[in-house]
Chain A
Amino acid sequence: MMDAAPHLPVNTSAPRGTARLFLAAGTSFAAHLRAYGALPPTLPAATRAGAGAPADAETVIEQLRAAGLDGRGGAGFPVWRKLASTRSHASGRGSRPAVVIANGSEGEPLSRKDHALLSLAPHLVIDGLLLCAAAVGASDLHFFTTAELAPGVQHALGERPDARHVKVLVTPEAFVAGEATAVVNAVERAVSVPRDHVLHLSEAGLKGRPTLVQNVETLAQLALIARFGAEWFRSIGTEQEPGTRLVTVCGDVATPQVLEVAGGTPLSVLIAAAGGASAPVSAVLVGGYHGAWVPAPALDTPLSREALSPFGAAPGAGVVFVLSSARCGLETAAGIATYLAEQSAGQCGPCVNGLPAMAGVLSRIASRSRDPPLPAEVARLADLVTGRGSCSHPDGTARFVLSSLSVFASDVRAHLASTCEVHGA
């Protein structure tokens, strides 16, 4: 068993190549231990003690900082900073003990990676959850997952002596149910809708306690970093996108699937790995329904924050949705925008009123209404809803809609002239 310090050389028994998260031969705890070995011994002890021993916590956080792991739920925020913030708010004088929540709700309809991970490697996620709890000194642990996967997760928790105190919660199938404040709301009040917040959850979350909500892939990656070190983690991927990442390649590809790939893998490689596109690619939606389109000429763009930012996209939760030139991008976009408008939690006025209005105008463009001011109206509404909600649903929807207008700009002009670049007149 290797030391947990980040500067040690790569462990020769550590996994090589991009296959890291799915090495266990089965979902049992025994298979998990055979594939990965036990967690570094000091940390589970600290977990049992309730509050994490300071040295262990610092080690985990320093390792994550060195590894450069970012959150895999969508926001892509540096994991070590969330841990450090939660820990600092939970350790001051008069502060209340922290809460850690594994977020496996996967409200994004295109994403299947959390589903794959929890079906095949639940113990890595549990490892990560226990490590986080030790790092921030939490004794209150929750595991948020779908109704389909909850029995498996419950079984996995029951298999191990160190995780029996973790409470499993079932998420409703709603787009916004996976948003971090909605997850906290679900635990606290059994209502999966986002809530208003001035402070970050790491300062005031569940019942005002410092709360760490981490996506399940993030937790699994964290469990590997704790075992094999930051340098090992960085031995794959790029400087900016270290390690591997789970992606869901879907849409017009031969075999839609979840892939574990090196950070910074080009979109074209991802599409080829999924059996290639079923017809010439028109554009790729990166990051899910709150993401943005990358047009076909730019398919060599790597799946990295930096390379995707000119398109307004980010790796997000790793969704790569391929749109072939056999389908009209505007019709697809209007359908997604309509879905997103319906998925508003119905709490905030600008979202409740603005999203249906925006989707409606986009739908009129998609149905080839001859009304030149329509694109400007979409842009106006997109600006109007942005920044005016308790969660990022209006912002993400506006971003997606604006990206659709921009990437399919020539088709917008065609539609305004009552024709379509895909379906013709």
Chain B
Amino acid sequence: MPDPRPPRPNAAAAAAAADVAADPTVLHIDWTLCDGRGLCTELLPELLGRDEWGYPLALNRPVSERSNVPVQRSLLPAARDAIALCPRQALRLTESAKLTRLPSNGRG
């Protein structure tokens, strides 16, 4: 049976926010590749829940951080595991400082 777990307030994630550096590493989700297989949500339960269709949902994050999810240092090894094991290769780590400072691409 599908197991839609609604995102729950996650005290651990909030407490770990202090662990996020000023220029944190972010976990980028390529939604065009993601198939919602759920391995990343098992390996990073502090960071990611699943929506009702199985796709990863960043917990307690503003909408601007749902595709580039800040990862605190203590979770970096788990994030690397998630990247290596993602069946769709839909994840990667990047420095948030390297992210675009321009807003998301519009219609030119």
Determine direct contact between A and B, CB below 8 Å: yes
Residue with the greatest number of chain B CB neighbours at <10 A, chosen from A178, A183, A389: A389
B74 interfacial by beta-carbon distance below 8 Å: no
| B47 surroundings in chain A (CB, below 8 A) | none
Contact surface of B with A, Cβ cutoff 8 Å? 28-36, 51-55, 57, 62-68, 92, 94, 98-108
Cβ distance B81 to chain A, nearest Cβ, rounded Å: 21
Whether B31 contacts A77 by the Cβ 8 Å rule is: no
Residue of B29, B33, B53 near A353 (CB, 8 A) is: B53
A388 interfacial by beta-carbon distance below 8 Å: yes
User: What are 15 of the A-B contact pairs (CB < 8 Å)?
Assistant: A75-B106, A75-B108, A77-B106, A179-B106, A179-B107, A196-B32, A196-B33, A198-B99, A213-B108, A348-B34, A349-B36, A386-B66, A387-B63, A387-B64, A387-B65
Cα of A201 to Cα of B34 in the assembled complex, Å: 22
Cβ-closest 3 pairs across A and B:
A75-B106, A387-B63, A73-B107
Cβ distance B55 to chain A, nearest Cβ, rounded Å: 4
Chain A interface, number of residues (Cβ within 8 angstroms): 50
A57-92 vs B, CB cutoff 8 Å, 1 = contact: the mask equals: 000000000000001011111000110010000000
11 additional A-B residue pairs with CB within 8 Å, beyond A200-B101, A348-B31: A181-B105, A196-B30, A197-B100, A198-B28, A198-B99, A214-B108, A349-B35, A354-B51, A386-B63, A387-B66, A389-B67
Whether B102 contacts A388 by the Cβ 8 Å rule is: no
Whether B102 contacts A202 by the Cβ 8 Å rule is: yes
Give the interface SS of chain A, mostly helix, strand, loop or mixed.
Answer: loop
Cβ distance B11 to chain A, nearest Cβ, rounded Å: 21
Whether A198 contacts B106 by the Cβ 8 Å rule is: no
Give the interface SS of chain B, mostly helix, strand, loop or mixed.
Answer: loop
Cα of A202 to Cα of B102 in the assembled complex, Å: 9
| B51 surroundings in chain A (CB, below 8 A) | 350, 354, 384
| B100 surroundings in chain A (CB, below 8 A) | 197-200, 203
| B33 surroundings in chain A (CB, below 8 A) | 196
A390 interfacial by beta-carbon distance below 8 Å: yes
Question: Nearest B residue to A398 by beta-carbon distance?
Answer: B63
